[in-house]
Chains A and B, each alone.
Chain A
Amino acid sequence: MEQTEILYQYLLHLGDNSLIQGQRDGEWCGHGPVLEQDIALTNIALDLFGEARNIFAAAARLKGNGETEDSIAFLRDVLQYKNVLLVEQPNQDWAYTIVKHFFYDNFHNILMTELCNSNNADIKAIAQKSVKETNYHARWSNEWMIRLGDGTAVSKEKVQTALNELWEYSGEFFIATSIETQAEQLGFGANLETIHKAWTKTIDEILLEATLEKPSSTFFQKGGKTGIHSEYLGFVLAEMQYLQRAYPGAEW
């Protein structure tokens, strides 16, 4: 595959995770457990969409064929999205939402830190901006894991259940696709093993402090990064893309 195409696909990997996670977070608006947390989660969603926009804009410039941040976000079908399975899982309740964020935010933060060393100017710039935000996101989710894990018996049970159920989605980040392997070889992508080590260290520390049990299974679901998604993504996209599909070509 040509280098530009590899870079383009790699950018989609990065952008789709934030796009879909942001989309799930947007569903919480007006329904959070506390007003201040509604605002916190919305802030995070805004950061994620902002990052996705930067990434898709860079991808569009790369193609130079009239693609825009919006055509990339709204006009692909399920099989063309490259996000991990984790971020498309439904919100369900605060416990599931926090666990998803716990896994994603720590990965995202370490990834962006690594990408500050990318040899691609666009990626480097995006990472330098994102890392200030992802730092905050990871802090927020880690603190919530601890509050829920070490809160009441009820909260411990709920968050442990969510942790156990979502655990099988926490490994896909580190299963390199051929795009990610090539991206790393070409110097603009991050090394997933390094990230995995750092991520595991943080996860272990937080789970210990949260008095939660780390699931022991070593089986992890994968497929999202190569377009083989869960059944959830179709519905997420149907909602997200509906206006662009119903009124093709319209300006908004």
Chain B
Amino acid sequence: MNQNEWPLWEVFIRAKQGLNHKHVGSLHATDYKMALENARDVYTRRLEGVSIWVVESNNLHASEPSESESFFEPAEDKIYRHPTFYILPEELNHM
């Protein structure tokens, strides 16, 4: 791989006020200013964004797909985290 290759950055866009930032793809840039400008040029040409986050791909850490069983499944057993586990009197309404 080329020593000179520009670092890869991951791009997240908030499409509208009130929404979360969503991952939309990646691009190459040498610094965060360039990455933000490039992201604006590439991913918001049709007014699809009010806010942009960029993270150098090296700094993005992800869970291991192969460990997804031990990582995620235990949560399935802990149903007391979910509102449906609890039975409340009807008079309470909408809690």
Q: Report how many residues on chain A are interfacial, defined by Cβ distance under 8 Å.
A: 11
B33 touches A36 (CB 8 A): no
Known contacts A143-B33, A143-B34, A34 near B28 by CB under 8 Å: yes
**A34–B27 CA distance with the chains assembled, in angstroms:** 11
Which of B16-24, B37-45, B62-70, B78-86 lines the interface with chain A? Answer: B37-45
| CB-nearest residue of chain A to B29 | A36
* Cross-chain contact of B41 among A36, A139, A143, A147 (Cβ < 8 A): A36
State the majority secondary structure of interface residues on A: helix
B41 touches A40 (CB 8 A): yes
Give 1 or 0 for each of A105-141: 1 = CB within 8 Å of chain B CB. 0000000000000000000000000000000100110
Known contacts A34-B6, A34-B28, A40 near B33 by CB under 8 Å: no
Residues in A with CB closer than 8 Å to B45 are: 43
| CB-nearest residue of chain A to B27 | A36
**A13–B30 CA distance with the chains assembled, in angstroms:** 37
* Cross-chain contact of B37 among A34, A35, A140, A147 (Cβ < 8 A): A140
| CB-nearest residue of chain B to A143 | B33
Give 1 or 0 for each of B20-62: 1 = CB within 8 Å of chain A CB. 0000000111100110011001100100000000000000000
Which residues of chain A from 135 to 170 have a CB within 8 Å of any chain B CB? 136, 139-140, 143, 147
Residues in A with CB closer than 8 Å to B37 are: 40, 136, 139-140
Residues in A with CB closer than 8 Å to B6 are: 34
Residues in A with CB closer than 8 Å to B38 are: 36, 39-40
**A19–B11 CA distance with the chains assembled, in angstroms:** 33
Residues in B with CB closer than 8 Å to A143 are: 33-34
**A43–B34 CA distance with the chains assembled, in angstroms:** 14
10 contacts between A and B (CB under 8 A): A34-B6, A34-B28, A36-B27, A36-B38, A36-B42, A39-B41, A40-B41, A43-B45, A139-B37, A140-B37
7 new A-B contacts at CB < 8 Å, known A43-B41, A139-B37: A34-B28, A36-B29, A39-B38, A40-B37, A40-B38, A43-B45, A136-B37
